């Protein structure tokens, strides 16, 4: 069994109006863990407790690192970057780089890796927000810490450059870190680079487990959407008698009232659902909106004039406004 890097038991962190964390108990393993939640959910507060920046008002936190005695046990990159205003870009890396580095990479190579070489003499006040983010990441990695904690590390970086930077982060974490934890509002880095995920709402943990479990079998629609669009065929949480899954039961393969609709998983991701043209289908297409990776369709149920929003990876060329369609599940239910 993998030893936990952090163990939290009944941790509470007070706030001015309400607790920022409430009775949080967690075992955070080695590997890469992402923390998800809306603004104000408690993500930064959790990282503050994990890094010993803040002391909980109740409960306990223990930290164990499996890194070598020669390495820095932990490095934290806070939400505001925490850059030092009196140091240049180059001096930030020089300050944290170990006197006897394990990684064969010079200060300038660290900067070039994060596209900061031309800014080496600049101080933080002259940097853009995206440049500050990249410097904070470069400083974190150059510290060679065994465990790294990053609060929304690339939030202000352009998409293509952020993609390249995440590749750098991922390679570093795999080769040189025993554990890492980061917060984000975006599902892509979680799905690509994390193996574990913690979800917070109003300072409380709503989910803790593998990324795969949250993506494939989320317990609620709200949690499902933290990892991107989903078609929710479970019952509405606030009304046990209202089956949102009736959308599935209206297809020809599972007519309304047929027990077959129970075979549909509660959460069906866009890649696992297909909208097929069918003159006898139970829906009529009212709106089609194709985004970069996901298409959203508004369907009207023929027998009730109820509207549903459906998400698929792509829309077939023969499907347009006013077309009769049915839904098809492209994978078997678990």
Is residue 98 situated within a structural domain? yes
Q: Which of 203, 221, 239 is the last residue of a domain?
A: 221
What's the confidence (pLDDT) of residue 236? 53
C-alpha–C-alpha distance, residues 199 and 97, integer Å: 33
Residues 250 and 186 in one domain: no
Residues of the chain short of pLDDT 50, as ranges, are 238-245, 252-262, 333-334
Residues 12 and 131 in one domain: yes
Beta partners for 301?
Answer: 283
Residues 146 and 105 in one domain: yes
Residues 154 and 64 in one domain: yes
Which of these, 263, 251, 207, lies nearest to 37 by C-alpha position?
A: 207
Q: Which of 197, 221, 245 is the last residue of a domain?
A: 221
Domain residues for the domain of 67 are 4-221
pTM of the model: 0.89
* Residues 6 or more apart in contact with residue 69 via CB below 8 angstroms: none
Residues 171 and 194 in one domain: yes
CATH number of the domain to which 172 belongs: 3.40.50.300
Is residue 253 situated within a structural domain? yes
Which value, to the nearest 10 degrees, does the dihedral of the CA atoms of residues 185, 81, 179, 70 take?
180
Residues 294 and 161 in one domain: no
* Domains in the chain, number: 2
Residues 74 and 124 in one domain: yes
C-alpha–C-alpha distance, residues 129 and 189, integer Å: 19
Residues 156 and 65 in one domain: yes
What's the confidence (pLDDT) of residue 334? 46
Q: Which of 221, 254, 284 is the last residue of a domain?
A: 221
> Do residues 58 and 11 make contact, with C-beta atoms less than 8 angstroms apart?
yes
Structure tokens given for 170: 């991922």
Is residue 35 situated within a structural domain? yes
Is residue 211 situated within a structural domain? yes
CATH number of the domain to which 281 belongs: 2.40.50.140
φ, ψ for residue 191, nearest 5 deg:
-65, -35
Number of C-beta neighbours around residue 16 at 10 A:
5
Residues 31 and 178 in one domain: yes
C-alpha–C-alpha distance, residues 8 and 204, integer Å: 13
First to last CA, the chain: 26
Is residue 334 situated within a structural domain? no
Residues 16 and 93 in one domain: yes
> Do residues 261 and 320 make contact, with C-beta atoms less than 8 angstroms apart?
no
Residues 71 and 122 in one domain: yes
Three-state secondary structure readout of the chain: CCCEEEEEEEEEECCCCCCCEEEEEEEEECEEEEEECCCCCCHHHHHHHHCCCCCCCEEEEEECCCCCCCCCCEEEECCCCCCCCCCCHHHHHHHHCCCCCCCCCCHHHHHHHCCCHHHCCCCHHHCCHHHHHHHHHHHHHHCCCCEEEEECCCCCCCHHHHHHHHHHHHHHHHHHCCEEEEECCCHHHHHHHCCEEEEEECCEEEEEEEHHHHHHCCCCHHHHHHHCCCEECCECCCCCCCECCHHHHCCCCCCCCCHHHHHCCCEECHHHEEEEECCCCCEEEEEEEECCCCEEEEEEECCCCCEEEEEECCCCCCCCCCCEEEEEECCCCC
Which of these, 8, 37, 2, lies nearest to 190 by C-alpha position?
A: 37
Residues 41 and 185 in one domain: yes
């Amino acid at each position: 069994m993998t030893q936990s890097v952090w163990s939290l038991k009944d941790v509470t962190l007070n706030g001015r109006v309400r607790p920022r964390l409430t009775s949080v108990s967690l075992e955070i393993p080695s590997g890469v863990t992402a923390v998800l939640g809306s603004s104000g959910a408690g993500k930064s507060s959790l990282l503050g407790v994990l890094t010993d920046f803040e002391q909980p008002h109740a409960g306990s936190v223990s930290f164990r690192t499996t890194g070598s005695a020669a390495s820095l046990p932990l490095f934290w990159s806070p939400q505001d970057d925490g850059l030092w205003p009196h140091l240049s870009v180059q001096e930030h890396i020089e300050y944290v780089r170990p006197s006897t580095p394990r990684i064969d990479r010079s200060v300038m190579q660290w900067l070039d890796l994060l596209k900061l070489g031309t800014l080496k003499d600049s101080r933080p006040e002259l940097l853009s927000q995206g440049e500050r983010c990249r410097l904070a990441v470069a400083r974190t990695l150059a510290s060679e810490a065994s465990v790294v904690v990053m609060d929304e590390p690339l939030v202000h970086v352009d998409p293509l450059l952020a993609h390249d930077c995440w590749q750098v982060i991922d390679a570093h974490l795999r080769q040189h870190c025993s554990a890492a934890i980061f917060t984000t509002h975006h599902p892509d880095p979680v799905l690509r680079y994390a193996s574990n995920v913690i979800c917070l709402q109003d300072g409380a943990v709503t989910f803790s487990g593998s990324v795969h479990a949250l993506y494939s079998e989320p317990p609620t629609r709200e949690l499902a959407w933290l990892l991107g669009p989903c078609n929710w065929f479970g019952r509405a949480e606030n009304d046990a008698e209202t089956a949102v899954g009736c959308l599935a039961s209206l297809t020809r393969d599972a007519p309304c009232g047929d027990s077959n609709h129970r075979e549909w998983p509660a959460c069906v991701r866009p890649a696992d659902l297909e909208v097929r043209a069918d003159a006898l289908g139970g829906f009529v297409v009212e709106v089609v909106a194709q985004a970069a990776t996901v298409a959203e369709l508004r369907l009207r149920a023929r027998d009730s004039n109820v509207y549903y929003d459906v998400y698929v990876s792509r829309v077939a060329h023969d499907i347009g406004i006013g077309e009769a369609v049915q839904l098809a599940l492209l994978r078997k239910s678990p």
